[in-house]
Amino acid sequence: MAAPHFFQEEQPFLDGQFDLFDWYPSFQSCVRYFLEHAQYNGPIQALAAFINIQLPFQKASAHHPVLQRASPSPGPGGGPPGATAYPAAAASAPANPAAAVAAFAAPHVSLQPYIRRLVATGFDFPAVLHGFFGDDWELGVRPLHEQERRNFLFAAKSGSWLDVKGAYDMGADETVPFLRPLRGATEGEIVGAEGGWSEWLAVQDWMLGPRSVDGDGEAAPLGGRRVRIKREHDRQGE
Confidence bin at 120 (pLDDT 50/70/90): very high
Residues 195, 153: Cα–Cα separation, whole Å = 12
DSSP state of 7: G
CB atoms within 10 A of CB 223: 5
Model pLDDT, residue 147: 96
What is the percent of the chain where pLDDT is above 70?
63
Range 45-52 contact pairs with CB under 8 angstroms and sequence separation of 24 or more: 45/75, 45/79, 45/83, 45/84, 46/75, 46/79, 46/80, 46/83, 47/123, 47/128, 49/83, 50/177, 51/117, 51/118, 51/121, 51/123, 51/176, 51/177, 52/174, 52/175, 52/176, 52/177
Q: What is the mean pLDDT of the chain?
A: 79
The whole-number average pLDDT for the span 108-121 is 97
The pLDDT value given to residue 142: 97
Render pLDDT for 164-211 as a digit per residue (tens, 0 to 9): 999 999 999 999 999 999 999 999 999 999 999 999 999 999 999 988
Residue 163 confidence (pLDDT) above 70 = yes
Q: How confident is the model at residue 2 (pLDDT cuts 50, 70, 90)?
A: low
69-108 pLDDT per residue, tens: 433 444 454 444 444 444 433 333 444 555 455 444 445 8
pLDDT value at position 31? 98
Query: CA 64 from chain center: how many Å?
Result: 27
CA distances to 81, 145, 185 from 111, in Å: 27, 10, 22
pTM above 0.75, yes or no: no
pLDDT in tens, 205-231: 999 998 887 655 565 554 545 545 555
